[in-house]
Chain A
Amino acid sequence: MPPASLERRQRWAVAGLTAPAYLWLTVTVFLPLSAMLYFSFLTVAPFGGREATPTLAHYAAFLERSFYARLTLRSLRLGADVTFWCIVLGYPAAYALARHVRGRWREALFLLVVLPFWSNALVRVFSWTMVLREGGLLDSALRSVFPALPPLDLLFTYEAIVIGLVHSFLPYMILTCYVSLQAIDEAVIEAARTLGASWWTTFRRVVLPLSVPGLAAGVVLVFVPVIGSFMEPRILGGRAGTLLGTVIEDQFTVVFNWPRGAALSYILLAIVLAILALAWPLLRRHLGRG
């Protein structure tokens, strides 16, 4: 088959495969977000006869008001903490599920991991308040075993937010890692073993690199939403729950400052993309195939 026509067929294939999804996204997400991007460069949202003039003031505000930067750092730290724990807890679970459990048990456990997803997030988070507060489940349980302990009150702390978010996002990490780990051919592992590699070496040089797509997907699906989260922080964090997500929300629910909210959102997006852009080559180099 002549190369030109193959390439044309390929282009049609690509277009056909991506067009439905991206057309949908364009109409429902990209266009509205473009409008928001436009708003972020205006003084006020152009509603109800308001005069809107172009300005960079809202972006500048991020640099001028130190608390925005402080909150962003807090949110990034939260994202990192939650992602870290999700990896530490989730990857081994995915590994165990993918490589040590077989048959019907595996499916059953897979489903059990997924099920909490489908419970309503708000109700779940509220249930956490019952577990973490003083006099709540955890405190009562510990004190029934060790009566001398002082009351444990984890509610309204940074730690409570982390616990709540890890709980919400752990299934994402387990699932994406599982999906990659389960694809690894048993034969490759066998080959490494027969060549004399220890379990650790096999893991480090064969399994881990092959599971990177899943791990990377998990990191993206956890780190990114956590940074902009506001529900778990508000309910579990109390005073400690002020983060960039809550402040962005305020621009829409407490004042009519959509341009400021939009600007902060896009700064957040830029920071996230920058971090991932920096991390990706590092990740590839260290865990490169081979």
Chain B
Amino acid sequence: MQPTASSFAFRTPLTALLAGVAFALSAAAGAAELRVLNWQGYGTDEPWAVKRFAERTGVEVVHDHFNSEQEMLTKLRTSPGAYDVVLINSAFTCTAADEGLIQPIERAKITNFADLSPNMRDSAMLNCGGKLHGVAWVWGVTSFAYHTGKISPRPDSIEALWDPRFAGRVGWRDDPVEAVSFAAIALGQDPNNPSDLDAVQAKLLALKPQIRTFWSSEDEWNKHMAGGQFDIATYWSGSASRSKTAFGLPVEFVIPREGAIGWFDGLSVAAGAPNADAAHAFIDYMVDPEFYVKWDTDVGAPASANARANARLPADAFNRTVLGDPENVARLHFMAPLSDATRERFLEVWEEVKTELAQ
């Protein structure tokens, strides 16, 4: 049914945009499809969100998933024109842009753009070659969480991961950049540019008596924590909030006084996207407070890059109390883009550590 000007109430610019897309698409063809490439269970594939978007625009959202940033890049490289919207961690956005895998964003089509926090929205990591290639979407912290029933009092230093009291009870994410970053922070170095990799490696080797096992997905983390395989483990802020809300695990997330790793994700439009208009509309919907508040309240999510959306969360929400506290934020070391060579160097350090840990 074609909307007419008199029968349509443009409540917000977003609705106008969605209506515009619906109009354009219904005029153009039958039911259209939007292909989204993202982590599984990371917001864009929430069933109610997909349904709502389809109701408003007539566009069906189809997902493809990846399990690592490298996999995401491989899929983009080998399937041009297969995707419309891609989630890219800000540290990788310009890599994708430089390779011509994503196209510039049309700012005007993102009605919520002005509400995004300037430090992320205008970040050089998203503005590649002077053009905007990613819309800041969510951000969070990588630090550690612990089981409140088994560990007390609350640890407030990153050295807790190296604490002999917790020997054999520590969980660790198998990721070289994260591992190097934690060690660097503990040693007072810059995680994005460690001055002494040998010291970092030694620090990581000191984890040998501590680590019980590695985890590589949120689900694994939940199962191990619930099963008692570890009581304190590195983790992400958004996931910690989900573990508490959705799984009822008694865990607390800690941003230690030495600092933790900060990151933010952006939504980009793939080069050669078959449905760029709908892609922009979908991204706009993702950064809209309407979507975000429901996502965080019902499921648990990282913090929104949209300050207005964050402000609409309940006062006791994790993303407002912990991540809204400027003191906490000031201690964060945000992830920066790393060259392939640097990543490979970090990987070698980590692989050597893991080999030793395996003996």
Contact = CB atoms under 8 A, between A and B. Distances in A.
Interface in B211-230: 211-214, 216, 227-229
Given A135-B228, A239-B357, A254 B176 contact: yes
A71 interface: yes
Interface in B81-106: 98-101
Contact of A44 (B99, B228, B340, B352): B340
Interface string A70-83: 11001000000000
A253 B70 contact: yes
Nearest to B95: A48
B94 to A, nearest CB: 12
Interface of B is mostly: helix
A121 interface: no
A229 interface: no
B68 interface: yes
Interface in B185-213: 211-213
A111 B74 CA distance: 41
Nearest to B74: A252
A86 B49 CA distance: 51
A253 B71 contact: yes
B229 A256 contact: no
B70 A256 contact: yes
Interface in A240-271: 240-243, 247, 250-257, 260
B67 interface: yes
A255 B149 CA distance: 38
B290 interface: no
Contacts of B74: 252
A54 to B, nearest CB: 18
A243 B354 CA distance: 9
A63 B101 CA distance: 36
A238 interface: yes
A55 to B, nearest CB: 14
B101 A48 contact: yes
B73 interface: yes
B344 A257 contact: yes
A74 B358 contact: yes
A256 B98 CA distance: 15
Contacts of B358: 74, 237, 239-243
B77 A47 contact: yes
Interface residues of A, number: 32
Nearest to B348: A65
B68 to A, nearest CB: 5
Given A65-B348, A133-B227, A156-B212, A242 B354 contact: yes
Please tell me the size bucket of the interface on B. Answer: 20 to 34
A67 B355 contact: yes
Contact of B352 (A65, A237, A238): A65
A218 B9 CA distance: 71
Contacts of A253: 67-68, 70-71
A247 B352 CA distance: 10
B156 interface: no
A49 B73 contact: no
B211 A239 contact: yes
Contacts of A256: 70, 73, 340, 343
Given A74-B358, A239-B212, A67 B352 contact: yes
A162 interface: no
B240 to A, nearest CB: 22
Interface string A220-242: 00000000000000100111111
Contact of B175 (A240, A254, A260): A254
22 contacts: A47-B99, A67-B355, A67-B356, A70-B355, A71-B355, A133-B229, A135-B227, A155-B229, A156-B229, A239-B213, A239-B357, A242-B351, A242-B357, A243-B358, A247-B351, A253-B70, A253-B71, A254-B68, A254-B70, A255-B347, A256-B70, A257-B347
Given A47-B99, A251-B347, A253-B67, 10 more contacts: A47-B77, A48-B77, A48-B98, A65-B352, A156-B213, A239-B212, A239-B214, A241-B358, A242-B357, A255-B343
